[in-house]
Amino acid sequence: MRKAGALATGVLLALAFVASGCDLISSLTPFGVGTKDYSATGANVNGTWAGKTGSGGDVTFQVGNDTVSQLIVQHVTTGCTLSFEADSTTAPVVNGGFTIELTLTQGSFVATATFTSATTCSGTYSFKALPSGDCPTAGSGSFTANKTF
């Protein structure tokens, strides 16, 4: 009878967690540790990131508190360097990646990336913008970045 009573208590406790929307894993996450700022492999990706675009430009961004911020992507073509800065735009890290979308004066910029490890990130970007001298009005590219600290 004691085993049946203990089993019934355990089942009721488990049902209480499910009914309350509480999940045992997230309930055990230490205070102050993010629950989304991880790569697809489960490694923490908070920190400063820097790398290069496929066109030879620079890419930098910050990750902290489950959020990507201060993204800068440079697209380089002959005689032109376009710099896209998302200083005031942030994006959550979800399922090991992020997407940042910017609305430009007349155009748009979108960057999507995946954290493949705790220190490596790769992604793509695309843009449409106003004509400016010899610079393209639309384009796309790829980038890789590494965690610098």
pLDDT digits (tens, 9 = 90+) for 85-134: 998 889 999 889 999 999 888 889 999 999 999 899 999 999 998 777 77
Domain chopping of the chain, boundaries: 1-30, 47-147
- CA dist 130 and 140 (Å) reads 15
Residue 40's pLDDT is 66
Q: Is 47-147 CATH 2.160.20?
A: no
DSSP state of 44: B
Helix (H) or strand (E) holding 72: strand 67-77
Contacts 24+ apart (CB under 8 A), 101-107: 104/128, 104/129, 104/130, 105/130, 106/130, 107/137
- CA dist 122 and 135 (Å) reads 25
> How far are the Cα atoms of 29, 49, 140 from residue 32, in angstroms, in the given order?
9, 21, 37
pLDDT in tens, 22-61: 333 333 333 334 445 576 677 789 999 999 999 999 999 9
